[in-house]
Amino acid sequence: MNVQSVVVVVCAMFVAQGNMQGTPQSAATPASASARVTAGDASTDYIIGADDVLVIKFWKDPDASAEVTVRPDGKITLPLGKEIAAAGLTPDQLLEAVLEQARRFMESPSATITVKQINSRKVFITGQVAKPGAYPLSAPTSVMQLISLAGGLLEFAKSKEIVIIRTEPRGPIAYPFNYEDVAKGKHLSQNIVLRPGDNVVVPE
Q: Is the pLDDT of residue 147 over 90?
A: yes
* pLDDT at residue number 155: 94
- 88 and 179 in a single domain? The answer is no
Domain identity same for 80 and 154: no
Among 65, 98, 117, give the residue marking a domain's end: 117
pLDDT computed for residue 44 by the predictor? 58
Whether residues 101 and 76 share a domain: the answer is yes
Q: What is the pLDDT of residue 201?
A: 98
Please give the model's pTM, rounded to 2 decimal places.
Answer: 0.58
Do 46 and 80 lie in one domain? The reply is yes
The reported pLDDT for the residue numbered 79 is 86
For residue 173, pLDDT over 90 is answered with: yes
When the pLDDT of each residue in the chain is averaged and rounded to a whole number, the result is: 79
CB atoms within 10 A of CB 199: 18
Last residue of a domain, one of 117, 151, 174: 117
Per-residue confidence band for 164, with pLDDT thresholds at 50, 70 and 90: very high
CATH code of residue 181: 3.10.560.10
Q: Is residue 1 part of a domain?
A: no
Number of domains in the chain: 2
Cβ atoms of 25 and 16 within 8 Å: the answer is: yes
Domain of 78, in residue numbers: 6-117
Do 68 and 168 fall into the same domain?
no
Determine what percent of the chain is predicted with pLDDT higher than 70. 78
Amino acid in the structure at residue 195? R
Kindly state whether residues 27 and 79 are assigned to the same domain.
Answer: yes
Where is average pLDDT lowest: 38-52, 104-118, 131-145, 152-166?
Answer: 38-52
In a domain, 51, yes or no: yes
**In a shared domain, residues 109 and 29:** yes
What CATH number is given to the structural domain containing 44? 3.30.1950.10
Are residues 167 and 161 in contact, defined by beta-carbon separation less than 8 angstroms? no
Say whether both 74 and 105 belong to one domain: yes
Q: Residues 88-134: pLDDT tens digits?
A: 887 878 888 988 888 888 888 888 888 888 888 899 999 999 999 99
Give the domain-ending residue among 74, 102, 117: 117
Q: Which of 164, 171, 173 is nearest to 191 (CA)?
A: 164
pLDDT band for position 194 (cuts 50, 70, 90): very high
Both 126 and 69 in a single domain? no
Residue 40 forms part of a structural domain: yes
H helices of 6-116, where?
Answer: 91-102
Does 192 lie in the same domain as 92?
no
186 pLDDT above the threshold of 90: yes
